Amino acid sequence: MKKKLMLYLLCMLTFSACNSSGKNGKEETLYSGEIRIAVDESFKPIMEEELQVYQALTPEASITPVYCSEVEAVNLLLKDSVRLAITNRRLTEKELISFHTRKFFPESIQMASSGIALITHHCNPDSLITVEDFRRIATGEITEWKELNPKSRLGRMQVVFDNPNSGTVHYVIDSICQGKPLSSSLKARKSNEEVIDYVAATPDAIGIIGANWIGNKADTTRLSFNQRVRVMSVSESSEATPENSYRPYQAYLALKQYPLTNEVYILINDPKGALPTGLMTFLTGERGQRIILKSGLIPATQPVRIVNVKDDLREFGIRKYL
């Protein structure tokens, strides 16, 4: 009798470790159930593509993305309101301690490499900028286009970004401005899409957005950008020239020649190994990484190779090893 009872308990424990129940009472597994995930709005285009394919492959899974700022995404994970978040940073030591005190052991897994793009009005002739000049613009030390180019006919710069709590803004503050606050004259919009709309309609504007948003969807080679705006070339040198400046083409992101690169992370806290783990496995697996490659970003878990592409821009293409 004791052996039967122990066997029964062991079976129950094994079953509960592999399955959990969603809020609607339905069984949640690696491939089924209903969950919410939090996504930094900067990565909305790529996650829309990923989820469309994933849910077609796993019809028993229902995943609702919450597109929000990076701060909100991490807070939702900390509050256990979601068990998976997409951001451009790892969990901090303080955040990990908060989880560990509750006996949770989350992971930060790199999903892709991306970048920050600087965009201007399509009629703006100023297409080159140094990292140092970008820093001075972000902190308010440069406010006029003539300070960047004495021949410019434009007036005061209208600098716009997506959200004060976004991963894009945190990257600029931490990596470009070395912790200095952004100028109070910078304008915030609700999303990257609104930044593009503003810049496209404002000749004096310069926008700061995720590189994920600038691709030309009609161009499968990923060698052209959104035609509504101009994407600036960025140089790490003291003076920007066409030869030492780069735009966030996929190959330049992969080679780290584009200076404003960052990473995309999956933050996951899924102790039962259910649907969030299934989605994470897809995103870091071959199919999910192919979608990242197609989107113009750089896969984190699959090898890539660079190939020359003949075109007027003298740029490069990028292909995946098959």
Handedness of CA 180, 185, 191, 192 (dihedral sign): negative
Question: Tokens at residue 186, please?
Answer: 């910078």
At residue 309, the pLDDT reads: 47
**Sorting pLDDT into bands at 50, 70 and 90, what band is 15?**
very low
Q: Is 132 helix (H, G, I), strand (E, B) or coil?
A: helix
Predicted confidence (pLDDT) per residue in 76-121, tens digit: 999 999 999 999 999 999 999 999 999 999 999 999 999 999 999 9
| Dihedral angle over CA of 112, 222, 219, 280, nearest 10 | -10
- The whole-chain average pLDDT of the chain stands at 85
pLDDT tens for each residue of 69-85: 999 999 999 999 999 99
If you compute the radius of gyration of the chain from its CA atoms, what whole number of angstroms results? 22
13: pLDDT strictly greater than 60: no
Is the per-residue pLDDT at 280 higher than 80? yes
Dist. CA 100–CA 294, nearest whole Å = 37
Long-range CB pairs of 305-309, under 8 A, 24+ apart, other chains included = 306/251, 306/254, 306/255, 309/221, 309/223
Residue ranges of domains in the chain, CATH in brackets: 26-113+262-312+316-320 (3.40.190.10), 115-259 (3.40.190.10)
State residue 54's pLDDT score: 96
The stretch 250-278 carries a mean pLDDT of 93
Average pLDDT estimate for 122-142: 93
pLDDT value, residue 250: 87
pLDDT at 214: 85
State the average pLDDT over residues 240-254: 92
Q: What is the pLDDT of residues 145-191, one digit of tens each?
A: 999 889 899 999 999 998 888 888 889 999 999 888 889 888 888 88
Question: Which DSSP string corresponds to 6-18?
Answer: HHHHHHHHHHHHH
Q: Given a cut of 70, is residue 48 above it in pLDDT?
A: yes
CA pair distance 209, 79, nearest whole angstrom: 28
Q: What is the pLDDT, as a whole number, of residue 199?
A: 96
Provide the pLDDT confidence category of residue 25 given band limits of 50, 70 and 90: low
Taking residues 251-272, report their average pLDDT.
93
CA–CA separation, 155 and 147 (whole Å): 10
Per-residue buried b or exposed e for 122-151, using 16+ beta carbons within 10 Å of the residue's own CB:
eebebebbbbbbbbbbbbbebeebeebbee
Q: Which of 111-120, 254-263, 297-306 is predicted with the least confidence, judged by mean pLDDT?
A: 297-306
Assess whether pLDDT exceeds 80 at residue 223. no
Using left for φ > 0, alpha for ψ between -120 and 50, and beta otherwise, residue 206 falls in: beta
Give the C-alpha distances (Å, rounded to integers) separating 162 from 12, 58, 119, 193: 48, 33, 13, 8
The Cα 254–Cα 113 span in angstroms is 8
Q: Which of 19-23, 81-85, 135-139 is the least confident region?
A: 19-23
How far is it, in rounded angstroms, from Cα 115 to Cα 268?
Answer: 22
The pTM of this model reads 0.82
The reported pLDDT for the residue numbered 68 is: 93
pLDDT for the residue numbered 115: 92
DSSP conformational letter for 41: G
Tokens representing 9 are 């308990």
